[in-house]
A and B are shown apart, each in its own frame.
Chain A
């Protein structure tokens, strides 16, 4: 079974630009969550999508948005990039088990110059 796939793995943008990151979940998983990982803050929850609907949202500004498609693939978008947005963005999928174990991809590393 293929794992969670994230693209692109690395990207460099400049302040003010926007970026779109993509995530393909494990086959059969309908929930996709996004996390931002930085050295000082650890893993911070961005949002979760289930069956194309945003089910949970973290405390991030509106510049951060996402969506999920009917095949469960998900994208997140960050507009008007700031230097502080430089981070590893992790996508995780899960099935609807009692524990809801998260299966993470390897992440997309964004550098904002």
Chain B
């Protein structure tokens, strides 16, 4: 059974940093791209970042480029999202999602439970 367990969320002040983790199990983690998707309170879904299966290439949406860094440790079956220079508009539930292949042309077949990140003073 595929499981994605997200941790590391919470309350942070504007300009602060936070690191999310997503522990994966039930599939060959190193064979699939992974993504982060967020959902602001009461709003729709927004893709944030994706990373290739081998971790050698990543891509992010423009609004987080230069502030957020996606990474992975295939030896630990874990995905990360390092979030710096956080803004109020980054407040959202963050989901990790498993891609259906390696990076391009993939949708998301499994999602983690989501974790709330609140950016507020």
Query: Does B associate with A?
Result: no
Which A residues are within 8 Å of any B CB, using their own CB?
A: none
